[in-house]
Amino acid sequence: MRSSTVRIGLVALFVTALVTAQLAAAKVLAISLPVDLPLVGASVFVPGGVLAYALTFFASDCYAEIYGRRDAQTMVNLGFLMNFVMLGLVYFAVLAPIAPPQITGASQAQFSAVFRSGTAVVAASLVAYLVSQNWDIVVFHWVRDRTDGAHLWLRNLVSTGTSQAIDTVIFIGIAFAIGPVVLSGASFPPASQLAGLMAGQYLAKLLIAVVDTPFVYAVVGQVGAHDAGSDATAWAR
């Protein structure tokens, strides 16, 4: 497969997943577990965009492996800026006058409720994204350098596992604790509640990271050693 096709495909996947995750972040999903887990309980509570957001780490890890740290960080930081473009367009659509309900089938309040996330959730998403995605790329290449380009599975799991932990702590801390306290004067939630949310979300994200590892291998393998700029078998060891 041509490197240019993979490059465009990875950028397209990254941006699509990023926008989807941002739009779906305000909804919290309850996923039942077969057994009760410490801190978590019988259900895992995760943002509606958890799968989409996990795909951004898959795309950035593939991109970093094939095209290098600098290009990957450029993609991540441009993605951060594109968040504001998306939010601007969404807020413009929310604030613009709406056609009568008999035409649209929905009122202004209903449209706003669907597309306008809480300020704390939006701020949490943006801060968590900027910190965790850049950490992911730095750690990915740190492991790559220390293993001489071998063990792609190791750098994928270590970089994604640590970055998702950072992302989870920042997102939960701002969206469900600091944000509501600062913006609306709400009481600070119990530490056990925050710990449960963090543990559940991290468990879900870590599982996705394990599952996506074979797909990282598949994408890198499709590009080939010449385009990846590495030894023909180093990435697969």
* Domains of the chain and any CATH numbers: 3-232 (1.10.1760)
Q: What percent of the chain has pLDDT over 90?
A: 37
In this predicted structure, what is the pLDDT of residue 225?
46
Question: Do 219 and 58 form a contact (C-beta atoms < 8 A)?
Answer: no
In this predicted structure, what is the pLDDT of residue 235?
41
Tell me the C-alpha distance between 141 and 137, whole Å.
6
Low pLDDT (below 70) residues in the chain: 1-2, 114-118, 224-237
Listing DSSP states for 27-88 in one string gives SEEEEEEEEEETTTEEEEEEETTHHHHHHHHHHHHHHHHHH-HHHHHHHHHHHHHHHHHHHH
In this predicted structure, what is the pLDDT of residue 122?
81
In this predicted structure, what is the pLDDT of residue 116?
62
The pLDDT tens digits of the residues spanning 123-136 come to: 888 899 999 999 99
Question: How much is the pTM?
Answer: 0.81
